[in-house]
C-alpha cells in the first residue's frame, strides 16, 4: 500500500515540500504525542493527555457504529499515524529525487505537475 501511495501523497500537498513537512509534524504531534505524554508525563500533567486519548477512543467508538471499524483499533492508531507520515515523507523524497512522478510507465516532470499541465 505504501508503494501505491508514493505517487499520490506528495501531490495532495500541491508538490510543496514545506507543506508536506508541516503536515507530517502536525500529524505526529496531534496523533502520537498524546500516547507519549500519557506515558512520560508526571502527576496532573497526564490529565490533558488522558483526555486527548479518551477523545480519540470515543471517536473510534462512534465510527464503529457507522462502519466495520471496531473500537479496539484505537491501539493501532500510533502505527497507522507512523505509516501515514512515513508514506508522505517517502512520496516527497522520491518525487523530489526523481524530479517528477512515474506512473504507468510514463514520467511526469515535477514542473509540469506543479503548473497543472499534466
pLDDT in tens, 17-59: 999 999 999 999 999 999 999 999 999 999 999 999 999 999 9
Share of the chain above pLDDT 90, in %: 77
What pLDDT is attached to residue 117?
A: 64
Does residue 115 carry a pLDDT above 90?
A: no
Here the cell at position 30 is: 496531534
Task: Find the mean pLDDT for residues 87-98.
Answer: 95
- The mean pLDDT value of the chain amounts to 92
**Stretch among 58-62, 83-87, 103-107, 114-118 having the lowest mean pLDDT:** 114-118
Does residue 8 carry a pLDDT above 80?
A: yes
Query: Residue 20's closest CA among 86, 98, 101, 82?
Result: 86
* Look-up of cell digits 497543472: 116
What pLDDT is attached to residue 38?
A: 93
Here the cell at position 62 is: 462512534
Q: By the 8 A CB rule, do 40 and 25 touch?
A: no
**CA angle (18, 22, 23) in 5-degree steps:** 115
Give the integer Cα–Cα distance in Å for 109 and 25.
Answer: 27
Amino acid at each position: 500500500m505504501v508503494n501505491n501511495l508514493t505517487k499520490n501523497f506528495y501531490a495532495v500537498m500541491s508538490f510543496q515540500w514545506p507543506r508536506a513537512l508541516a503536515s507530517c509534524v502536525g500529524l505526529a504531534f496531534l496523533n502520537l504525542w498524546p500516547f507519549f505524554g500519557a506515558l512520560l508525563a508526571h502527576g496532573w500533567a497526564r490529565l490533558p493527555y488522558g483526555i486527548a486519548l479518551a477523545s480519540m477512543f470515543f471517536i473510534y467508538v462512534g465510527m464503529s457504529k457507522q462502519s466495520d471499524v471496531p473500537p479496539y483499533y484505537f491501539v493501532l492508531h500510533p502505527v497507522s499515524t507512523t505509516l501515514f507520515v512515513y508514506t508522505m515523507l517517502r512520496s516527497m523524497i522520491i518525487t523530489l529525487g526523481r524530479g517528477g512522478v512515474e506512473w504507468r510507465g510514463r514520467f511526469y516532470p515535477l514542473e509540469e505537475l506543479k503548473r497543472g499541465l499534466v
